[in-house]
């Protein structure tokens, strides 16, 4: 089996697994409901008097902390719980293709859910003249950010055959990456270890990397950051799966 065909086979298997069960539909419905509630109730989008999507995008990192690990927690934990892990490892498919195929399937579901929010963008254009380049950039970086959180979830899914344990561990790590960008956290680190440490911690936060995109500023470091985040946790995913196989 060629590498591409192996990757596609794993991808199709996992994607069909999402949509053959209520998992994908429940995820999309609850995600859209939560995102709408945060945008219109907490962000009070209709009361801002501004025709942009700032109150919409500002909650993405925090919602992803919970929703993306929830989407990814089944990827390996289900195989371990159902006893199909050894069978999966026996297939003539590279380990990297298994890891990447599962990740891409979950990322596709996340992209589908995000795409269903596009009517908000269209509505903003009907009501006024928003900065469409900033909105497009925010969507693109948001999707990259979702990939980072899914990679975290996929990695921890391979550590336990219990989805709840995998979810809790992944959510905790995702929260650390997000909360590191809060002024309160940066200030505490700065007071304890100096200004340089506070700035360094903030650089590792998803919040700081996403804020520039919301202003319409394309920073290559943000793309590099999320690319490295995805790569690092997919590598951990492969290492931990290989350890189980061994």
Per-residue pLDDT tens over the stretch 60-115: 999 999 999 999 999 999 998 888 888 888 888 899 999 999 999 999 999 999 99
For residue 69, what pLDDT is reported? Answer: 96
Q: Is the pLDDT of residue 242 over 80?
A: yes
59, exposed or middle or buried, with CB in 10 Å at 0-12, 13-18, 19+?
middle
Q: Residue 3 — very low, low, confident or very high, per pLDDT cuts 50/70/90?
A: low
Query: Region 220-236: what's the mean pLDDT?
Result: 94
- Average pLDDT over the chain, rounded to whole? 87
For residue 193, what pLDDT is reported? Answer: 67
For residue 155, what pLDDT is reported? Answer: 96
Residue 154 Cα to chain centre, angstroms? 10
170 or 185, which is more confident?
170
Phi-psi bin for 217: left (phi > 0), alpha (psi -120 to 50), beta? Answer: beta
Kindly list the distances between the CA atom of residue 57 and the CA atoms of 122, 158, 212, in Å, as whole numbers in the listed order.
15, 30, 12
Query: Region 161-188: what's the mean pLDDT?
Result: 86
- Ranges 44-48, 108-112, 185-189, 199-203, most confident: 108-112
pLDDT tens for 20-51 read: 989 899 999 999 999 988 887 776 666 666 66
**Which of 5-19, 24-38, 116-130 shows the lowest per-residue confidence on average (mean pLDDT)?**
116-130
Phi then psi for residue 113, to 5 deg, are -65, -40
94 or 128, which is more confident?
94
Q: Is the pLDDT of residue 1 over 60?
A: no
For residue 208, what pLDDT is reported? Answer: 82
- Ranges 21-25, 63-67, 116-120, 184-188, most confident: 63-67
163, exposed or middle or buried, with CB in 10 Å at 0-12, 13-18, 19+?
buried
Q: Is the pLDDT of residue 178 over 60?
A: yes
Listed by start position, the domains of the chain span 3-245
């Amino acid at each position: 089996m060629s590498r591409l065909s192996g990757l596609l086979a794993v991808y199709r298997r996992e994607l069909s697994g999402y949509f053959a069960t209520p998992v994908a539909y429940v995820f999309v419905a609850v995600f859209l409901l939560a995102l709408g509630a945060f945008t219109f109730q907490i962000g009070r989008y209709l009361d801002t008097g501004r025709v942009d999507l700032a109150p919409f995008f500002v909650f993405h990192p925090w919602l992803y902390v919970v929703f993306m690990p929830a989407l990814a927690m089944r990827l390996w934990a289900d195989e371990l719980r159902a006893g199909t892990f050894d069978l999966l490892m026996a297939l003539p498919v590279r380990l990297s293709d298994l890891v990447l195929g599962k990740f891409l399937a979950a990322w596709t579901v996340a992209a589908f859910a995000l795409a269903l929010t596009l009517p908000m963008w269209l509505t903003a254009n009907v009501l006024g003249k928003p900065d469409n380049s900033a909105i497009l950039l925010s969507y693109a970086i948001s999707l990259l950010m979702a990939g980072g959180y899914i990679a975290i979830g996929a990695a921890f899914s391979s550590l336990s055959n219990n989805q709840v344990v995998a979810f809790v561990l992944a959510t905790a790590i995702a929260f650390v990456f997000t909360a590191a960008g809060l002024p309160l956290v940066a200030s505490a680190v700065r007071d304890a270890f100096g200004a340089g440490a506070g700035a360094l911690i903030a650089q590792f936060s998803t919040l700081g990397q996403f804020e520039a995109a919301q202003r319409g500023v394309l920073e290559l470091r943000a793309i590099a950051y999320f690319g490295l985040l995805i790569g690092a946790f997919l590598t951990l995913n492969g290492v931990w799966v290989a350890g189980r196989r061994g």
